[in-house]
Amino acid sequence: MRPVRALGASLLIGVMTLAAAACGSDDSSDSGSGSGSGGTGKNEAVTVQAANGAVTIPATPKRIVSLSPTHTESLFAIGAGKQVVAADEYSTYPANAPKTKLSGFKPNAEAIIGYKPDLVVLSDDMDGIVKALAKVKVPVLLEPAATKLDEAYDEINDLGQATGHAAEAKKVTDDMRASIQQTVASAPKNKPLSYYHELDNQLHTVTSSTFIGQVYGLFGLRNIADKAEKASGGYPQLSREYLLKSNPDLVFLADTKCCAQNEAAVAKRSGWQDLTAVKNKNIVPLDDDIASRWGPRLPEFVKTIGAAIQKAAPTK
């Protein structure tokens, strides 16, 4: 279902509930039951502070199962890709990720155990899967959908500690921070533009309280959905009338893959031809996956926003 696909077929559930515990911090994830090295690549135990508590991994894992598309991306980005033996059905990136029929939404403990994992990484504890795997002594890292940038960085560093790639993980997060900061700093500082971020062609969107909304907020953009939030948990469904009246300067489409939306498609919608974003050709197609995950490709999403602002910003 879409917008469940939004945020990597996982983030919407995690963020809408906002009940998952925050991910572990860099400081807490450094504590190991051995020497605390965690990132040496040696077979030493390490303890990582995750949402499901202090998780001890007895030795550097060699058979990782990832049930989160975002975490699959992160594992490969930090150099732990060769340790991943199975990933869930939505782990579409990178291309060589070992995608399987495993589901993060309806996890099957027996199917997961069949891969003989020495570490399972997931972002949602669906159907009590964490407890089920604990019964057979499989270490599980529960790293929920990030609700802010620092949590996204912390989770990547947690994975680095857990897999013996702490140094690589730190480099990934340092590079992410630097790239995002540079993109934001170079964006025009004119009067804030308004925007609409579309999750599907039923006008589901995000508000500034969500992780995605906070990314847009880095640029000082004004979210037209904020006044429609009410009890939506940050993911309201707008009416056509509300959207047309709000008349956003920018429209970002995070439904290009799922729903085949693009500039031509939205221009044909009733009343949309009069929108400022349509008339000024400021309809911005996004890669659904990049725009929905909180992992190492986040800077690409930020760069797309920055480029759109550069194009749409009024000249002095």
In a domain, 278, yes or no: yes
Question: Residue 36 maps to which CATH number?
Answer: 3.40.50.1980
Spell out the residues 6+ positions from residue 292 whose beta carbon is closer than 8 angstroms to its own. Answer: 5, 6, 7, 8, 9, 11, 212, 254
Query: What is the four-CA torsion angle of 180, 185, 191, 197, rounded to 10 degrees?
Result: -10
Confidence check: pLDDT of 39 > 70: no
What angle do the packed helices 69-77 and 149-163 form, to 10 degrees?
60
Confidence check: pLDDT of 35 > 90: no
Q: Looking at residues 14-28, what average pLDDT do you find?
A: 35
Percent of the chain with pLDDT over 90: 82
Show the domain range for 212: 188-312
Say how many residues make up the chain.
316
**C-beta separation of 119 from 61 below 8 A:** yes
Number of domains the chain is built from: 2
Spell out the residues 6+ positions from residue 236 whose beta carbon is closer than 8 angstroms to its own. Answer: 204, 205, 207, 225, 228, 229, 230
**What confidence category does residue 19 fall into, taking pLDDT thresholds of 50, 70 and 90?**
very low
Query: Mean pLDDT of all residues in the chain?
Result: 88
Q: Which pTM does this prediction carry?
A: 0.86
Residue 190, pLDDT score: 81
Query: 47, 62, 58, 55: which is closest to 125 by C-alpha?
Result: 55
Question: Do 87 and 193 reside in the same domain of the chain?
Answer: no
In a domain, 126, yes or no: yes
Question: Do 113 and 237 reside in the same domain of the chain?
Answer: no
Question: Do 72 and 176 reside in the same domain of the chain?
Answer: yes
Q: How many helices (H) and strands (E) does the chain have?
A: 11, 10
Q: Looking at residues 126-149, what average pLDDT do you find?
A: 96
Domain boundary among 113, 148, 180: 180
Question: Do 33 and 169 reside in the same domain of the chain?
Answer: yes
Spell out the residues 6+ positions from residue 315 whose beta carbon is closer than 8 angstroms to its own. Answer: none
Question: Do 94 and 206 reside in the same domain of the chain?
Answer: no
In a domain, 120, yes or no: yes
Spell out the residues 6+ positions from residue 1 whose beta carbon is closer than 8 angstroms to its own. Answer: none
In a domain, 160, yes or no: yes
Question: Do 91 and 196 reside in the same domain of the chain?
Answer: no
pLDDT tens for each residue of 105-127: 999 999 999 999 999 999 999 99
pLDDT tens for each residue of 227-254: 987 767 899 999 999 999 999 999 999 9
Confidence check: pLDDT of 193 > 80: yes
Question: Do 278 and 164 reside in the same domain of the chain?
Answer: no
Confidence check: pLDDT of 16 > 50: no
Percent of the chain with pLDDT over 70: 86
- Alpha-carbon Rg for the chain in angstroms: 20
In a domain, 3, yes or no: no
pLDDT tens for each residue of 244-288: 999 999 999 999 999 999 999 999 999 999 999 999 999 999 999
In a domain, 5, yes or no: no
In a domain, 142, yes or no: yes
Residue 51, pLDDT score: 95
| Residue bearing the bigger pLDDT, 189 or 210 | 210
Question: Do 155 and 233 reside in the same domain of the chain?
Answer: no
Q: b vs e for 87-98, b when ≥16 Cβ sit within 10 Å of the residue's Cβ?
A: bbebbbbeeebb
Domain boundary among 145, 180, 215: 180
Paired with 197 in beta bridges are 252
Quick count: other Cβ atoms within 10 Å of Cβ 110? 8
Q: b vs e for 232-252, b when ≥16 Cβ sit within 10 Å of the residue's Cβ?
A: bebbbebeeeebbebebbbbb
Question: Do 59 and 167 reside in the same domain of the chain?
Answer: yes
In a domain, 47, yes or no: yes
Question: Do 172 and 203 reside in the same domain of the chain?
Answer: no
| Residue bearing the bigger pLDDT, 10 or 134 | 134
Question: Do 115 and 214 reside in the same domain of the chain?
Answer: no
Question: Do 174 and 237 reside in the same domain of the chain?
Answer: no
Domain boundary among 147, 180, 213: 180
**What confidence category does residue 315 fall into, taking pLDDT thresholds of 50, 70 and 90?**
low
